[in-house]
Amino acid sequence: MTTDVALIGCGYWGKNIARSLASIGRLAAIVDDDPVRAKEFAAAHDCDALTLEEVLADPSVPAVAIATPAETHFALAEKALNAGKNVFIEKPMALKAEHAETLNQLAERTGRTLMVGHLLQYHDGFIRLREMVQSGELGRLQYVYSNRLNFGKIRREEDVLWSFAPHDISMILALAGEEPSQVNAQGLFVLHGRIADTTTTHLQFPSGLGAHIFVSWLHPFKEQKLVVVGEKAMAVFDDREPLDRKLAIYRAEVSWLDGAPVAPKVEPDYEVLPSSEPLVNELQHFVDCCETGATPRTSGREGQRVLAVLNQATSQLLEQNHSRRRTDGLSLPGFQTASPGELNDLEKIETSTASRRDGVHPTAIVDDSAVVGTGTKIWHFSHVMGNTSIGANCNIGQNVVAGPNVSIGAGVRIQNNVSVYDGVTLEDDVFCGPSMVFTNVNNPRAFISRKDEFARTLIKKGASLGANCTIVCGTTVGEYAFVGAGAVVAKDVPPYALVVGVPARQTGWVSREGEVLGADLTCPRTGETYEEINGELHPIQTGAMA
């Protein structure tokens, strides 16, 4: 039986997975929170655009690939495994060690393949390097180091350790063949007081092997280099070099002359590598493992070992940052000085788990006067400001700011990098796509205070606001309306309307379920029918709705 794969998430990295799965003829369907984007990608790759529920219930789709924000990985993978699907999941496989263990136990109990996207293990240069290490061609390993450096892409939802280092940790653990006995990490928090922009992580292994990983997104040039030092030879895997120079071997070893070590100078030999795309190799390996039952090279257990190193390093970075920011009034080179108020906020989020609000990530801040409903999750580096109320069972993504004086209903989902300003009201079940924008004045100037001119914005029940759209203040978006990605809304949007473009214009109607309605105004998902009266849409029967 061939393994066709449904992709969950077609964003920044997911689009590459879609292309690669399509290139090997294994892309079955696209699932995305933005149904317009899902349909565009599905049409481009000649597959179906489905909901998560449809994929999980479809026995003809035996596998899923998850390429969504990291905080969603565990919940989605758990659902997929419980539905009997094989699962490929992008790094990191989860944010908590116990979640990784749960996924591995579930995969082992159900006999399903669980694989983590540690891409560089499928690069022909690293595959050849690993073969040389395992065959003893380099001799006993003595030291390994990796540099993954760039100027950008700077993230606010995760630090540079979690963004850059998982690939390097995965490669080093694969070469070492053992888990580290000691992990030490140091970081600099240059641009933001709570997010590390550059880190060095030192690993010590029981065999005596040492390793370090240097990652930074504040580096003047890009570098992606892994150096392996053995007793007999040294290797440099440099992914920035052309194919014929990616893997260099220095066949030299230290000798002793009159009791002193001598290191001879040698020119490198370059390994001849096949020309293939690592992501295609990785996904082909996944479907092969699904079909043969073989254990993936980067299995769930391998992903769990990488996660353990990340968590050990992170705990040290948090402790280091906490100690630094408690130094009241002390300004260190490259650091922002914390005010007493900021120090108090940091103490609130870094106290014991028992004192935290349920569902609030330890890096998030919820002011004392804010109200958060039962079952609501608030993720990394978000801030809920004073006199803001959030209803039950909401999901507030990473790097979200809400408030002050904001009302958010129940069941609302706000994706990463959204600011919900004073004057905005979100009713129940509203969806805010990643990096969409609210405004609160029409003519802002940095040097003029216009707080008394804030215009009210109302997003009514069930409306969806697409990624990167802008909602100009003073407007109302009606019930179950759908604002397309990148649209700029400068006037009221009727209930059930689909609007796109700059400025936003209505191109049709959508159902309560978010489906674009045809001429018969019948929802293709539920059978619910509508009628248009005086330019407004109204449901006239519930059809097959549950």
Question: Mean pLDDT for the chain?
Answer: 87
**Whole-angstrom Cα distance, residue 531 to residue 546?**
20
What 8-state DSSP symbol labels residue 245?
G
Report the share of the chain in percent with pLDDT over 70. 88
**Whole-angstrom Cα distance, residue 68 to residue 88?**
12
Where does the pLDDT of residue 1 fall: very low under 50, low under 70, confident under 90, or very high at 90 and above?
Answer: low
pLDDT of residue 323: 62
Q: Where are the domains of the chain?
A: 5-112, 121-274, 357-420, 435-546
What 8-state DSSP symbol labels residue 445?
B
CATH of 357-420 among 3.50.50.60, 2.40.70.10, 3.40.50.720, 2.160.10.10: 2.160.10.10
- With beta carbons less than 8 A apart as the criterion, state whether 77 and 112 touch: no
For residue 111, the SS3 value is coil
Read off φ and ψ for residue 511, nearest 5 degrees.
Answer: -80, 175
Where does the pLDDT of residue 325 fall: very low under 50, low under 70, confident under 90, or very high at 90 and above?
Answer: low
pLDDT of residue 511: 94
Where does the pLDDT of residue 336 fall: very low under 50, low under 70, confident under 90, or very high at 90 and above?
Answer: very low
- Closest to 100 in 3D by CA, of 78, 85, 80, 67: 78
pLDDT of residue 157: 62
pLDDT tops 80 at residue 142 = yes
- Closest to 37 in 3D by CA, of 11, 67, 66: 11
User: Which residues is 365 bridged to in the sheet?
Assistant: 383
**Whole-angstrom Cα distance, residue 436 to residue 466?**
7
- With beta carbons less than 8 A apart as the criterion, state whether 167 and 175 touch: no
CATH-assigned architecture of domain 435-546: 3 Solenoid (2.160)
pLDDT tops 90 at residue 378 = yes
pLDDT of residue 89: 97
Average pLDDT over residues 121-149: 94
| pLDDT digits 0-9 by tens, 13-28 | 999 999 999 999 999 9
In this structure, which long-range contacts are made by residues 12-17, counting pairs with CB atoms below 8 Å and at least 24 apart in sequence?
13/67, 13/90, 14/67, 14/68, 15/41, 16/279, 17/65, 17/67, 17/90, 17/279, 17/283
Average pLDDT over residues 526-535: 88
Same fold, 5-112 and 435-546: no
User: Which residues is 508 bridged to in the sheet?
Assistant: 498
CATH code for the structural domain at 5-112: 3.40.50.720
Where does the pLDDT of residue 327 fall: very low under 50, low under 70, confident under 90, or very high at 90 and above?
Answer: very low
**What's the CA angle centered on 276, arms 271 and 279, to 5 degrees?**
120
- With beta carbons less than 8 A apart as the criterion, state whether 321 and 187 touch: yes
The least confident of 87-101, 257-271, 343-357, 438-452 is: 343-357
CB within 8 Å of 34: residues ≥ 6 apart? 433, 466, 467, 485
- With beta carbons less than 8 A apart as the criterion, state whether 203 and 211 touch: yes
| pLDDT digits 0-9 by tens, 63-83 | 999 999 888 999 999 999 999
| pLDDT digits 0-9 by tens, 194-247 | 788 899 999 999 999 999 999 999 988 889 999 999 999 999 999 999 999 999
**Whole-angstrom Cα distance, residue 539 to residue 287?**
44
**Whole-angstrom Cα distance, residue 293 to residue 314?**
34
| pLDDT digits 0-9 by tens, 510-526 | 999 999 999 999 998 88
**Whole-angstrom Cα distance, residue 110 to residue 93?**
18
CATH-assigned architecture of domain 121-274: 2-Layer Sandwich (3.30)
